[in-house]
Amino acid sequence: MRSLYCCCSLEPTTLLPTPAVAARMKLKCLPEDFQVEELSEFEIQGGNYAVYKLTKTSLGTPEAIEAILRRWKIKREHISYGGLKDRHAITQQYVTISRGPRRDLNQQNFTLVYQGQTKQHFGPTDISGNRFHIVIRDLPRNVAQKYVNLRESLLVDRLPNYFDDQRFGSLGASREFIAQPWCAGNYERALWLALAEPNPHDRPDDREEKRILRDNWGNWVDCKAKLAQSSRRSIVTYLCDHPTNFKNAFALIRVDLRGLFLSAYQSYLWNHILAELIRSKVWHERVYEVGLSAQQVAFCTSLTMEEQDELSRVKLPLPSARIDLEGSALEAHYENVLRELGIELRELRVKYPRDSFFSKGERPALIVPHNLQMAMASDEQYAGRYKVTCDFELPRGSYATIVLKRLTLDPTAVSERTHEGAGSSVALAEEE
Q: What is the pLDDT of residues 303-333, one digit of tens each?
A: 999 999 999 999 999 999 999 999 998 999 9
Q: How far is CA 25 from the centre of its chain?
A: 22
SS3 assignment, position 132? strand
Residue 65 lies in a domain: yes
**Which of 33, 86, 164, 379 is the catalytic position?**
86
Residue 63 lies in a domain: yes
At 387 the pLDDT is: 97
Residues whose CB is less than 8 angstroms from the CB of residue 388 and which lie 6 or more positions away in sequence, other chains included: 135, 136, 139, 144, 147, 148, 374, 375, 376
107 and 89, same structural domain?
A: yes
Number of folded domains in the chain?
2
Residues whose CB is less than 8 angstroms from the CB of residue 261 and which lie 6 or more positions away in sequence, other chains included: 170, 177, 178, 179, 182, 194
136 and 89, same structural domain?
A: no
415 or 308, higher pLDDT: 308
Q: In whole angstroms, give the CA distance from residue 146 to residue 416.
A: 10
At 12 the pLDDT is: 30
49 and 121, same structural domain?
A: yes
Residue 244 lies in a domain: no
282 or 23, higher pLDDT: 282
Query: Does the pLDDT of residue 409 top 60, yes or no?
Result: yes
248-274 mean pLDDT: 96
Residue 335 half-sphere exposure, CB side, CA atoms within 13 Å?
9
The pTM of the full predicted model, rounded to 2 decimals, is 0.86
Query: Does the pLDDT of residue 100 top 90, yes or no?
Result: yes
pLDDT-wise least confident of 121-130, 257-266, 301-310, 413-422: 413-422
Q: How far is CA 394 from CA 77, 178, 198, 230, in A?
A: 29, 29, 33, 38
At 18 the pLDDT is: 33
Residue 381 lies in a domain: yes
136 and 87, same structural domain?
A: no
Given pLDDT bands bounded at 50, 70 and 90, which one contains residue 91?
A: very high
At 413 the pLDDT is: 63
What 3 state SS string does 193-224 have?
HHHCCCCCCCCHHHHHHHHHHHHHCCCHHHHH
Nearest to 318 by CA among 300, 307, 330: 330
Assess whether 391 carries a catalytic annotation. no
At 83 the pLDDT is: 87
Residue 153 lies in a domain: yes
140 and 83, same structural domain?
A: no
At 157 the pLDDT is: 87
136 and 102, same structural domain?
A: no
Residue 19 lies in a domain: no
Pairing type for strands 90-98 and 34-40 reads parallel
Q: What is the pLDDT of residues 224-257, one digit of tens each?
A: 999 999 999 999 999 999 999 999 999 999 998 9
Q: What is the DSSP letter of 168?
A: G
Q: Which domain holds residue 142?
A: 131-158+368-410
Given pLDDT bands bounded at 50, 70 and 90, which one contains residue 189?
A: very high
135 and 78, same structural domain?
A: no
At 330 the pLDDT is: 95
Q: Is 194 exposed, middle or buried (0-12, 13-18, 19+ CB in 10 A)?
A: buried
Residue 58 lies in a domain: yes
Q: In whole angstroms, give the CA distance from residue 403 to residue 367.
A: 10
110 and 144, same structural domain?
A: no
118 and 47, same structural domain?
A: yes
376 and 400, same structural domain?
A: yes
CATH number at residue 46: 3.30.70.3160
Domain boundary among 125, 147, 176: 125
Q: What is the DSSP letter of 342?
A: T
Query: Does the pLDDT of residue 382 top 70, yes or no?
Result: yes
Residues whose CB is less than 8 angstroms from the CB of residue 386 and which lie 6 or more positions away in sequence, other chains included: 139, 140, 141, 143, 144, 376, 377, 378, 379
Residue 84 lies in a domain: yes
Query: Does the pLDDT of residue 429 top 60, yes or no?
Result: no
121 and 136, same structural domain?
A: no
